[in-house]
Amino acid sequence: MSGKRGNGEGSIYPYKNGFAAYVWVDTPDGKRKRKYVYGKTRDDVHDKWIKLHTEAKKGPVATRHRTLDAFLAYWLDSIVKPNLAPLSYVSYEGSVRLYIAPHLGTKRLDKLTVRDVREWLTKLAGICQCCAQGKDAKRSPSRQRCCAAGDCCEAYPSRRVIQAARDALRAALSHAVAEEEIGKNVASLVKVPKPRRRRIKPWSVAEAGHFLADGLARDDHLFAAWVLVLCLGLRRGEVLGLTRKSIDFETGELYVDHQIQRAGRQILHRETKTEESDDFLPLPALCLKALRMRRAQQTGDRKAAGDLWQDRHDLVFTTKYGTPIEPGNLTRMFALRARRAGLRVIPLRNTRHTCSSLLVALKVHPKIAQRILRHSQIAMTMEVYAEASEEEVRAAIGRLSEAMGGTG
């Protein structure tokens, strides 16, 4: 044997204070180029050279690698923004801008290691974000009260924020692997503690009935929204995204297929997250009565606003000028009304837990309740009915129905 290398194997040669080698590889864009490796000794370079040969046989190999900063900018603009929901883009962009880029952005994409990611997450947990983002420094000098005044407020990121930052990096690196820019996703190999979710006891049927009765007595313009949240388990965005076309008063059905979302500086009226979220829901008599009352209220608002009325989507729940209600404002209004009714305040999303018990109290047929609750089997619904059949709570809802004009 002559010992001569075959065509395309490349070579090892002295280079500066060590050695270098190259291998001909196919790049992700379909071209054939040289890929170089370097080292202080010939043995080091030989090992890298052999490893590079193995990678080249498996598939395309990138010859030039971007910094993580450059790749994340490409990923956000070309992959996330056109293909994912606006809220997903806002979430990923915030994680990249505030937590990833300032610490890992200058690293080369292919040189990022598991250790780099682990050390970044450990460091991030101990960085005051008021200092890092200059929150206090952005205030006028007369209003500065902590970090800018030399008294750090120690606003460290929560576990949930750290997990979101790691998840954003993992999603970006998954795409880099798919595009064959890197061989593995190092972020997926780093575990972070799961944030502990605080359990909050939902309202009982009696508490929910008291809340609705108080809203009815005060002629609350959002009374129908609270009824839908409590009796149908609708989410905040789903309630605010309802249009007049969503309601069929003749058949007594509600079609849920849109939602209102806050994405950055925009309020969007868009489709629900998944097709499984879209559904025709039967409306109990209490809900139908409340929606008729809301229709009459909105007619009055439209007449009072005159030319100032701005409802473009024909929404059921709007401000007095027809504009969409800010999702955050609905949450605050719910808490305000709970306090006004003398009830303990629970998050708006926790009202879904009360929905099943209310359906029992409203004497909704189990098969209809199964559709509303979206249970896959009737046995699950019947368990709920067995646990929540107190006559006392039935009487409470009955009194509320009578106050609305005997809707049953």
155 within some domain: yes
CATH number for position 72: 1.10.150.130
* Band of pLDDT at residue 256, cut at 50, 70 and 90: confident
Three-state SS at 216: helix
CATH number for position 296: 1.10.443.10
57 versus 6: the higher-pLDDT residue is 57
Q: Which residues contact 242 (CB under 8 A, 6 or more apart)?
A: 228, 254, 256, 258, 315, 316, 317
Mean pLDDT computed over every residue of the chain: 82
CA angle at 350 for the pair 331 and 326, rounded to the nearest 5°: 20
Three-state SS at 179: coil
Residue-number span of the structural domain to which 254 is assigned: 205-403
Domain count, the chain: 3
Residues 243 and 327 in one domain: yes
Residues 222 and 355 in one domain: yes
* pLDDT above 70: percentage of residues in the chain: 83
194 within some domain: no
Residues 359 and 279 in one domain: yes
Residues 320 and 173 in one domain: no
pLDDT tens-digit series, residues 363-392 = 767 777 676 666 667 676 666 555 554 454
Q: Which residues contact 215 (CB under 8 A, 6 or more apart)?
A: 222, 223, 226, 337, 341
CA angle at 237 for the pair 232 and 243, rounded to the nearest 5°: 80
Lowest mean pLDDT among 55-59, 86-90, 268-272, 354-358: 354-358
What pLDDT, on a 0 to 100 scale, did the predictor assign at position 3?
A: 43
CA dist., res. 332 & res. 330, Å (int): 5
Three-state SS at 267: strand
8 within some domain: no
342-354 as b/e: b if 16+ CB within 10 A: eeeebebeebbeb
With 90 as the cut, is the pLDDT of residue 399 above it? no
Give the residue carrying structure tokens 């699950």: 380
What pLDDT, on a 0 to 100 scale, did the predictor assign at position 266?
A: 78
With 70 as the cut, is the pLDDT of residue 215 above it? yes
Secondary structure letter of residue 264 according to DSSP: T
With 80 as the cut, is the pLDDT of residue 194 above it? yes
Residues 183 and 211 in one domain: no
Residues 317 and 361 in one domain: yes
pLDDT tens-digit series, residues 147-164 = 888 888 888 999 999 999
Q: Which two tokens stand for residue 5?
A: 């290398």
408 within some domain: no
Helices of type H across 218-260 = 223-232, 236-240
Average pLDDT of the segment spanning 153-176: 93
Q: What are residue 266's DSSP bridge partners?
A: 263
* Band of pLDDT at residue 102, cut at 50, 70 and 90: very high
* Band of pLDDT at residue 4, cut at 50, 70 and 90: very low
Three-state SS at 14: strand
Measured from the Cβ of residue 404, the count of other Cβ atoms closer than 10 Å reads 19
195 within some domain: no
With 90 as the cut, is the pLDDT of residue 5 above it? no
pLDDT tens-digit series, residues 302-355 = 999 888 988 788 899 999 998 999 999 999 999 999 999 999 998 888 887 777
Q: Which two tokens stand for residue 110?
A: 């292919």
With 90 as the cut, is the pLDDT of residue 180 above it? no
Task: Out of 189, 219, 235, pick the residue that ends a domain.
Answer: 189
